[in-house]
């Protein structure tokens, strides 16, 4: 959801890029009305868990709050107290990052977001100079050998915004820039469509922004069957509690209401208008388990190149991957010690056995279950009895 930010692309400094992210939150541009693929009026109540997850969350990180604030603006949910809190945190975080310039935007998802912010704010600063870096063959679209669907989707949104401004002659560009932009969009859309599986694109968490990308650049959702397949799968995952994290709720909600990031502050008569939501400001009450707690056993392994350290771990039923890692660390700190940091998606594993992930070397710690990469983080994935869990030193 990384490579060094390309400062040569228009020579944008990190502080300038961060200001652009702020501009994205407050841009006012004309755009299309709601799309045909949206949750129907009678099913709006299914979106209540997403809205309440965002409204009742405890926000402590500024940049982590930016996506939530953007979604509030898009779906026109009015919560002045929360918006002021989020805005203040974002501004404070930007100021800190400007002071400590060693923490710039670092990956192509963020590069796409910065280009989108620049485009939406009607800026002309080197936009066409950045376009060549979005060639679909660029290795930065790939993570762990697989196409990063959410990165590609954000790139499609950014390039579509640029394309529209070129066509309106709001950006100085020649026909070569426009043709190149069209080719990139088409190629990326095809890659997104090729990642389709049971109505999802990539996984459940990359589907929201993929829907947005397809709204603005493809006829895919003009086919009602395609729309219903995606909506059915996503609504089922909402019911299953897949979007418990505010950032996950924020990324899926706009698409379910037929909106995209190109519609910032655009009024439209969507089926699920804000008055259709049942918003509660009460903190969720923990649900009492219907069965008595019990223990489960899993096998846990750390792999570095061809060297394995494995152990059997017993944890409480309902535990997450992170609980297993902590239990293994208590058994053998030398073999299973790890470090983590907070991210919008929960705890992110940065180091295992004192070996740290490194953007410059394109290395990271991959989480797997029974040999398959996980789409959820260490703090979200609920483990099962008899499962084989692995943390693997990997490159992308």
What's the rounded Cα separation, in Å, for the pair 214 and 194?
A: 12
396 annotated ligand-binding residue: yes
Q: Over the chain, what is the mean pLDDT?
A: 79
184 annotated ligand-binding residue: no
**Which of helix, strand or coil describes residue 112?**
helix
In which band, very low, low, confident or very high, does the pLDDT at 288 lie, cut at 50, 70 and 90? very low
pLDDT tens string 314-324: 999 989 999 99
110 annotated ligand-binding residue: yes
Location of structure tokens 């660390």: 329
Mean pLDDT in residue range 94-121: 65
50 annotated ligand-binding residue: no
106 annotated ligand-binding residue: yes
Domain architecture of the chain: domains with CATH = 14-276 (1.50.10.20), 295-395 (2.170.130.30)
In which band, very low, low, confident or very high, does the pLDDT at 93 lie, cut at 50, 70 and 90? low
203 annotated ligand-binding residue: yes
The yes-or-no verdict on residue 58 having pLDDT over 90 is: no
For the CA atoms of 47, 53, 55, 59, what is the dihedral angle to 10 degrees?
A: -150
Taking the model in full, what pTM does it have?
A: 0.73
The yes-or-no verdict on residue 385 having pLDDT over 90 is: yes
What's the rounded Cα separation, in Å, for the pair 219 and 30?
A: 21
349 annotated ligand-binding residue: yes
Mean pLDDT in residue range 9-35: 42
Element (H, E) at 158: helix 149-167
109 annotated ligand-binding residue: yes
Mean pLDDT in residue range 158-181: 88
Token readout for 57 is 């969350």
85 annotated ligand-binding residue: no
Q: Are 299 and 389 in contact (CB under 8 A)?
A: yes
68 annotated ligand-binding residue: no
Higher per-residue confidence, 92 vs 108: 108
Any idea what DSSP says for residue 244?
-
Per cent of the chain over pLDDT 70 is: 73
Higher per-residue confidence, 157 vs 278: 157
In which band, very low, low, confident or very high, does the pLDDT at 211 lie, cut at 50, 70 and 90? very high
Higher per-residue confidence, 96 vs 45: 45
Closest CA to 50 of 240, 249, 260: 249
Q: What is the DSSP code string of 195-214?
A: TEETTEESBTTTHHHHHHHH
107 annotated ligand-binding residue: yes
What's the rounded Cα separation, in Å, for the pair 365 and 368?
A: 10
In which band, very low, low, confident or very high, does the pLDDT at 111 lie, cut at 50, 70 and 90? confident
366 annotated ligand-binding residue: yes
The yes-or-no verdict on residue 246 having pLDDT over 60 is: yes
74 annotated ligand-binding residue: no
């Amino acid at each position: 959801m990384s490579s060094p930010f390309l400062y040569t692309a228009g020579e944008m400094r990190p502080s300038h890029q961060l200001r652009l992210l702020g501009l994205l939150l407050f841009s006012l541009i004309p755009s299309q009305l709601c799309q045909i693929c949206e949750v129907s009026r009678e099913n709006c109540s299914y979106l209540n868990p997403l809205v309440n997850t965002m409204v009742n969350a405890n926000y402590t990180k500024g940049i982590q709050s930016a996506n939530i604030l953007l979604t509030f603006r898009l779906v026109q949910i009015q919560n002045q107290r929360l918006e002021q809190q989020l805005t203040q945190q974002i501004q404070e975080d930007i100021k800190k990052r400007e002071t400590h310039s060693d923490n710039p935007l670092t990956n192509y998802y963020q590069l796409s977001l910065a280009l989108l912010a620049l485009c939406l704010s009607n800026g002309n600063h080197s936009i066409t100079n950045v376009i060549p870096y979005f060639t679909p063959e660029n290795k930065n679209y790939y993570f762990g050998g697989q196409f990063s669907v959410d990165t590609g989707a954000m790139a499609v949104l950014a390039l579509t915004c640029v394309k529209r401004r070129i066509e309106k002659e709001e950006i100085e560009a020649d026909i070569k820039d426009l043709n190149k932009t069209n080719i990139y969009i088409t190629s990326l859309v095809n890659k997104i469509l090729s990642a389709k599986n049971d109505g999802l694109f990539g996984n459940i968490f990359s589907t929201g922004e993929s829907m947005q990308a397809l709204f603005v650049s493809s006829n895919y959702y003009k086919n009602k069957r395609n729309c219903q397949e995606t909506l059915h799968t996503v609504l089922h995952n909402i019911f299953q509690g897949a979007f418990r994290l505010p950032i996950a709720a924020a990324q899926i909600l706009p698409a379910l209401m037929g909106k995209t990031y190109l519609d910032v502050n655009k009024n439209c008569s969507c089926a699920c208008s804000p008055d259709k939501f049942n918003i509660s400001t009460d903190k969720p009450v923990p649900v009492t388990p219907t069965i008595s707690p019990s223990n489960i056993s899993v096998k846990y392994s750390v792999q570095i190149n061809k060297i394995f350290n494995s152990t059997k771990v017993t944890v409480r039923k309902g535990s997450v991957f992170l609980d297993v890692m902590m239990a293994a660390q208590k058994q053998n700190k030398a073999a299973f010690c790890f470090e983590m940091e907070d991210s919008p998606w929960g705890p992110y594993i940065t180091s295992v056995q004192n070996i740290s992930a490194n953007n410059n070397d394109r290395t990271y710690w991959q989480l797997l279950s029974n040999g398959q990469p996980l789409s959820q983080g260490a703090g979200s994935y609920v483990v099962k009895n008899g499962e084989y869990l692995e943390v693997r030193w990997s490159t992308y």
